Amino acid sequence: MTIAACTTCSTDTNVKVSDSRSTSAVFLNRDREEFRLIKFDGCVVRNSIACDWIVEKTGVGRVAVELKGSDIEHAAGQIEAAFEHMKVNGLTDLK
């Protein structure tokens, strides 16, 4: 799927990404600036390992988010695989 089809934007004061197991990460956004939320695993990448989300704020950067309760080594591998996928597929700018 395309990046655009897997992306939502948020200007909420608490920008939240979550998964089906009710695990979540929250980014504080007091100035209500726009965050781009890219559902990576299961949308951009299917049938392969990848991090759950890429969260991006223009002018600041992006963060790979893997929502885990345990198995941190596997989570690190998923983040690494996501960035490798972006590099190989020319998605380093995500625009």
The pLDDT of residue 92 is: 67
Per-residue pLDDT of the chain (95 residues; tens, 9 = 90+): 788 999 999 999 999 999 877 789 999 999 999 999 999 999 999 888 999 999 999 889 889 999 987 888 888 998 898 888 888 877 766 54
Residue for token pair 């695990």: 23
Q: Which pTM does this prediction carry?
A: 0.84
Closest CA to 91 of 34, 16, 38: 38
Per-residue confidence (pLDDT) for residue 95, from 0 to 100:
47
Angle at alpha carbon of residue 16, lines to 83 and 93, rounded to 5°: 30
